[in-house]
Amino acid sequence: MSALQQYALLFGMVVATVGLALSLGVISRSLGRVRQEKAKDVPATSGKLSPDPVWGRYHVRYYGYALLFLAFDMEMAYMYPWAVVYKELGLVALLDMGVFLMVLFLGLLYGWSQGALRRQ
């Protein structure tokens, strides 16, 4: 399959996906009823109206947890392609991933020593 055929196939899939989404939206609007309710736009929790505002702020202590989550989430994002090419590259790939994991582990140890994982 040539590159032009692959792009044509991709374009066809995009057009089909957009067409399906638009047609489902049109069908939904034409067949469904729209009921106006007062409480429809109010945030609710477990069937009860929430006393807190919708745009609540998070405490700054969650920032460290978010950074640790992102670091280890990115680790997984890098490990999947690494696992694909590991068989081809062999020991070099293993050493590279070892260095990468060591840097992440040192960051985790540093965060732990600074109290980033301590419950507040």
Q: Cα–Cα distance between 40 and 42 in angstroms, integer?
A: 6
Q: What is the CA radius of gyration of the chain?
A: 25
pLDDT higher than threshold 90 for residue 40? no
pTM: 0.46
DSSP string, 66-111: HHHHHHHHHHHHHHHHHHHHHHHHTHHHHHHHHHHHHHHHHHHHHH
Output the average pLDDT for the chain.
83
Q: pLDDT per residue over 45-75, tens digit each?
A: 666 666 666 676 777 777 777 878 888 888 8
Q: pLDDT per residue over 63-116, tens digit each?
A: 777 878 888 888 888 888 888 888 888 888 889 889 988 988 888 888 888 877
